[in-house]
Chain A
Amino acid sequence: MSLLLLVFMAVIGSASPDAATGANETLRRPSGHSLDDSHHPRNSSEHRKAFPVLAFNYEHVSKPFVISLWILLALLMKLGFHLIPRVSHIVPESCLLIFVGLLVGGIIKAMDQTPPVLDTKLFFLYLLPPIILDAGYFLPIRPFTENMGTILVFAVVGTLWNAFFIGGMMFAVCQIEAAQVGHVDLLSCLLFGSIISAVDPVAVLAVFEEIHINELLHILVFGESLLNDAVTVVLYHLFEEFAHEGTVTVGDALLGVVSFFVVSVGGVMVGFIYGVLGAFTSRFTSHSRVIEPLFVFLYSYMAYLSAEVFHLSGIMSLIACGVIMRPYVEANISHKSYTTIKYFLKMWSSVSETLIFIFLGVSTVEGPHNWNWIFVIFTLILCLLSRVLGVVGLTFIINKFRIIKLTKKDQFIVAYGGLRGAIAFSLGFLLTDTEKKDMFLTAIITVIFFTVFVQGMTIRPLVELLAVKKKKESKASINEEIHTQFLDHLLTGIEDICGHYGHHHWKDKLNRFNRKYVKKWLIAGDRSSEPQLISFYNKMEMKEAMMLVESGSAAKLYHDNCSSVAFQQRAPPKQRAIPSISKTREQEIRKILRANLQKTRQRLRSYSRHDLFSDPFEDSMSEIRFRKQRVQMERRMSHYLTVPANRQETPSARKVWFEPEHKVYTYDESESPRDGAALETLPDTVSLLSESPQRPGQSSRLRKRGDTEPSANAPDSQEEPQKLSRCFSDPETLQNK
């Protein structure tokens, strides 16, 4: 079925590029006709034709039409794969997509049309940034910084080694008479080497995503693929310039080295500036929440484009921007915006990746090719060889400086995971010298195919075979967070004692600086002084509350809490007196309740396209969290029997979701000291989605309970319904009491 769909889409897809490229005349004629037809009634009255009810005017929408069609095709393919379970388990998605691209390209070619090629501009400006932004924004910082040294060594030294080794050896190969490629000079070979040596982040992401390898290896290969962009950019431009010149001097080589530093550091700086700008902007977006995600996207894209303007490393700029922006933006934006950003990034990067692979397949079919057996075979062999040698050699040196050594298994996976992809292809496409270009392109495509197909398909069974450690799915634990911070402090202290300014010392200094100055500037409101542990704790509570709401077991939680409270009650069987509320307090409470009731009735919800309505899900979430905290608070109060000093002091978590009704709710709650019987009424869950007038009703209910409950007995479940029926009363009736 999916094949049929594929063929169908391919036919349409091929038919439309024709009109776009204007290559075929057959489609043009009807559109020309309709133009004439529509013009005629206006221009001349002699030739009276009927008004065209239905006209075919394709030219008008051809460009967006074609683009949308291609994207739709790509996504339908993606859908189709998952309907065939066997195939998708063995073959990674990237392979399937290239295969589809080949098919589509073949079909288009069979119809004698010109298929769209992976245009370099299209690739570098539109397809690559979303993938890199997605990777950079969600980059796991801790493993990245811990392994930064290793990653940098692999990225810089490894890529350099690869480029020179391949370039040099290929030049030697080209000297072989039988190859008939003697015209390729050293510089062109080096250029070729530099293009093909870079590990590609798109391909690595696509393949490694599916094998769930352990964090260390993942971040090593992935980090390397991201950071080698600077090296690639410099080498490429360098050799391209020199290839035109023909000669190279020592001065030029030195300039090359300087250029490398400029490119990489410059790229990071540009990203840093835009990241700070983005974080600063997000501080003020509290009133226009709907456009928050756009700021993140636009600032990051601008960072990429600005870096590209100066020929700096766009990828590094994008990564730096995402990394810098993230902690501050996340503290400022609403939960919905955060979800939006997450999903948009994933969506865009998914679409881009799919399109890249499909286009790769199509471009392969398109050609033009110049197949030279010796050149291609040797390229392939040398790529593998240089990768293995590079990884092994570098690991030998690196292991002297690492605490956790890289084992042979790790080295193998790192070497094997050096996949080439679309970046190499696009760079090759940019070459201007047509004669060698075709040969180079053919070789590049062969290498890409080999790495993606062969290495991509076999890496999963190899991982299983070698029993490489997989990613551990771990639940966030507050214990880990507390103890990790504790250990950080401990290590900093010990380092201070030793006088050794190590890793922890600088991390501590950075944290202190961050807390004192940076957070005040970039984070809105009082969340700027929220310590990391608290935000972590809040996030965890939120997640739990969401899970509870989703699983619909909200009621269960309160029974559990009640029973645990009950247990604690039995332990100290003291009789506690309930302090009564003074009359004035009662009056105050009633006044507030009544005022609030009126307020809620009068409030009209005016429709505005720019507002996000708080939806019941979010409300119920905050309700649950809120109630959980209240339960705990009540439990504690039962132990200590003190009216808490500052009643208005609610945990900052509540501040985030504040609504006037809740405020009153809290105030009322803490007024009447509980005797530990935390009765969360079942109807709460029922009335969750109902109108707000219920809430003041609830608070009065609870107050009543506080008055009526005589002793510190465990709450009787049978008593509950009784109380409930009594409690659905109007606040006014309380006056009668």
Chain B
Amino acid sequence: LSFLECSWRFCGRFKALWMKAALPDFKIRELTENPIGGRIIAAFFPPEKERLDFPSFVRILAHFRPIGKNRSRDRAQPEQANSRTGKLKFAFELYDQDRDGKISREELLQVLRAMLGLQVTEEQLRSIAERAIQEADLDGDGAISFDEFKKSLEKVDMEHKMNIRFLK
């Protein structure tokens, strides 16, 4: 894991955070205000495990590295975590809580409910979810698969959206 070596550069900052995380009452205040805070935290912990070890932590954060120049060298390797597809896959998994490879209408509704909160009626949420699925769903199965997700975001500039600068 070459990026691990890079990230050890910022060891100090991670270590401090790590100490905080190791405590049983791990709370980051801002995350409670964040509508999808719960999902983010859940994404860090691998399934069925209660504790998070450092390599897994770093592995998740690796998704947010800016895309570097050495992409071409690693063509032989499987899909890199911080490539565009890797980033999209991470985002997709945050939507798809039951891991069936598709974002169903219910899952989309849950996300919308979390983001928009109590300010909108159920009707509006449903119509938005309906429309979103109508737009993205190309094979007509009523749910958004990973490819459809990728396609609907092809115009969005991922490089700016999913990057934390200091992780380079």
B side interface size, CB within 8 A: 50
A side interface size, CB within 8 A: 43
Interface presence of B11 (CB below 8 A): no
* Residues of chain B contacted by A498 (CB below 8 angstroms): 13, 17, 61, 164, 166
Contact of A490 among B16, B66, B91, B130 (CB under 8 A): B91
* Residues of chain B contacted by A146 (CB below 8 angstroms): 160
Interface presence of A480 (CB below 8 A): yes
Are B34 and A493 interface neighbours, CB within 8 A?
yes
Residue of B28, B121, B149 with most chain A CB atoms under a 10 A cut-off: B121
Contact with A along B23-38 (1 / 0, CB 8 A): 0000010110011110
Within 8 A of B (CB), among A487-509: 487-500, 502
Contact of B132 among A478, A490, A499, A632 (CB under 8 A): A478
Are B64 and A494 interface neighbours, CB within 8 A?
yes
Are A479 and B152 interface neighbours, CB within 8 A?
yes
Are A632 and B127 interface neighbours, CB within 8 A?
yes
Bound-complex Cα distance A500 to B61 (A):
13
* Residues of chain B contacted by A632 (CB below 8 angstroms): 126-127, 130
Interface presence of A722 (CB below 8 A): no
Residue of B126, B130, B157 with most chain A CB atoms under a 10 A cut-off: B157
Are A482 and B161 interface neighbours, CB within 8 A?
no
Are B162 and A486 interface neighbours, CB within 8 A?
no
Within 8 A of A (CB), among B152-168: 152-153, 155-157, 159-166
Interface presence of A711 (CB below 8 A): no
Are B91 and A502 interface neighbours, CB within 8 A?
no
Are A499 and B131 interface neighbours, CB within 8 A?
no
Bound-complex Cα distance A349 to B15 (A):
57
Interface presence of B40 (CB below 8 A): yes
Are A493 and B159 interface neighbours, CB within 8 A?
no
Interface presence of A514 (CB below 8 A): no
Interface presence of B2 (CB below 8 A): no
Bound-complex Cα distance A629 to B130 (A):
11
Interface presence of A627 (CB below 8 A): no
* Residues of chain B contacted by A580 (CB below 8 angstroms): none
Are A489 and B34 interface neighbours, CB within 8 A?
yes
Are B161 and A636 interface neighbours, CB within 8 A?
no
* Residues of chain B contacted by A474 (CB below 8 angstroms): 155
Interface presence of A483 (CB below 8 A): yes
Contact with B along A636-653 (1 / 0, CB 8 A): 100000001000010110
Contact with B along A272-310 (1 / 0, CB 8 A): 000000000000000000000000000000000000000
Q: A403-B165, A482-B112 are in contact. Are A489 and B17 (CB under 8 A)?
A: no
User: Least Cβ distance of B162 to chain A in Å?
Assistant: 6
Contact with B along A377-392 (1 / 0, CB 8 A): 0000000000000000
* Residues of chain B contacted by A493 (CB below 8 angstroms): 30-31, 34, 36-37, 40
Within 8 A of A (CB), among B72-114: 91, 94-95, 108, 111-112
Bound-complex Cα distance A482 to B121 (A):
17
Are B164 and A494 interface neighbours, CB within 8 A?
yes
Contact of B121 among A472, A480, A484, A651 (CB under 8 A): A651
User: Least Cβ distance of A264 to chain B in Å?
Assistant: 26
Are A491 and B164 interface neighbours, CB within 8 A?
yes
Interface presence of A529 (CB below 8 A): yes
Bound-complex Cα distance A495 to B108 (A):
24
Within 8 A of B (CB), among A456-475: 472, 474
User: Least Cβ distance of A527 to chain B in Å?
Assistant: 11
Are A651 and B130 interface neighbours, CB within 8 A?
no
Bound-complex Cα distance A490 to B40 (A):
7
List the one stretch of A407-415, A530-538, A678-686, A691-699 in contact with chain B.
A530-538
User: Least Cβ distance of A410 to chain B in Å?
Assistant: 15
User: Least Cβ distance of A238 to chain B in Å?
Assistant: 37
Closest Cβ neighbor of A538 among chain B residues: B124
Closest Cβ neighbor of B32 among chain A residues: A496
Are A479 and B136 interface neighbours, CB within 8 A?
yes
Contact with B along A519-535 (1 / 0, CB 8 A): 00000000001110110
Are B152 and A489 interface neighbours, CB within 8 A?
no
Contact of B13 among A492, A494, A499, A652 (CB under 8 A): A499
* Residues of chain A contacted by B17 (CB below 8 angstroms): 497-499
Are A495 and B164 interface neighbours, CB within 8 A?
yes
Are B123 and A633 interface neighbours, CB within 8 A?
yes
Bound-complex Cα distance A2 to B119 (A):
59
User: Least Cβ distance of A138 to chain B in Å?
Assistant: 20
User: Least Cβ distance of A2 to chain B in Å?
Assistant: 41
Interface presence of A404 (CB below 8 A): yes
Are B116 and A534 interface neighbours, CB within 8 A?
yes
Are A496 and B163 interface neighbours, CB within 8 A?
no
Interface presence of B6 (CB below 8 A): no
* Residues of chain A contacted by B22 (CB below 8 angstroms): none
Contact with B along A91-107 (1 / 0, CB 8 A): 00000000000000000
Closest Cβ neighbor of B108 among chain A residues: A482
User: Least Cβ distance of A506 to chain B in Å?
Assistant: 12
* Residues of chain A contacted by B135 (CB below 8 angstroms): 477-479
Contact of B31 among A497, A502, A537 (CB under 8 A): A497
Interface presence of B120 (CB below 8 A): yes
* Residues of chain A contacted by B35 (CB below 8 angstroms): 489
Are B128 and A403 interface neighbours, CB within 8 A?
no
* Residues of chain B contacted by A495 (CB below 8 angstroms): 164
Interface presence of A370 (CB below 8 A): no
Contact of A491 among B111, B124, B131, B161 (CB under 8 A): B161
Residue of A146, A494, A537, A636 with most chain B CB atoms under a 10 A cut-off: A494
Are A636 and B126 interface neighbours, CB within 8 A?
yes
* Residues of chain A contacted by B121 (CB below 8 angstroms): 649, 651
* Residues of chain B contacted by A487 (CB below 8 angstroms): 91, 161-162
Bound-complex Cα distance A498 to B164 (A):
9
Q: A489-B35, A533-B115, A632-B127 are in contact. Are A484 and B161 (CB under 8 A)?
A: yes
Interface residues of A, Cβ cutoff 8 Å to B = 146, 403-404, 472, 474, 477-480, 482-500, 502, 529-531, 533-534, 537, 629, 632-633, 636, 644, 649, 651-652
A sample of 20 more A-B contacts (CB under 8 A), given A403-B165, A477-B155, A497-B40, is: A404-B157, A404-B160, A480-B153, A480-B156, A482-B128, A482-B132, A483-B91, A490-B40, A490-B94, A491-B161, A491-B164, A494-B61, A494-B164, A498-B61, A499-B17, A531-B116, A531-B120, A537-B128, A649-B121, A651-B127
Interface residues of B, Cβ cutoff 8 Å to A = 13, 16-17, 28, 30-31, 34-37, 40, 61, 64, 66, 91, 94-95, 108, 111-112, 115-117, 119-121, 123-124, 126-128, 130-132, 135-136, 149, 152-153, 155-157, 159-166
Q: Shortest 10 CB-CB distances between A and B: which pairs?
A: A496-B30, A479-B152, A493-B40, A493-B34, A487-B161, A479-B136, A489-B36, A478-B132, A651-B124, A479-B132
Could you show 12 A-B contacts with beta carbons less than 8 Å apart?
A404-B160, A478-B131, A479-B135, A480-B153, A482-B111, A485-B115, A490-B91, A495-B164, A497-B28, A529-B119, A531-B119, A649-B123
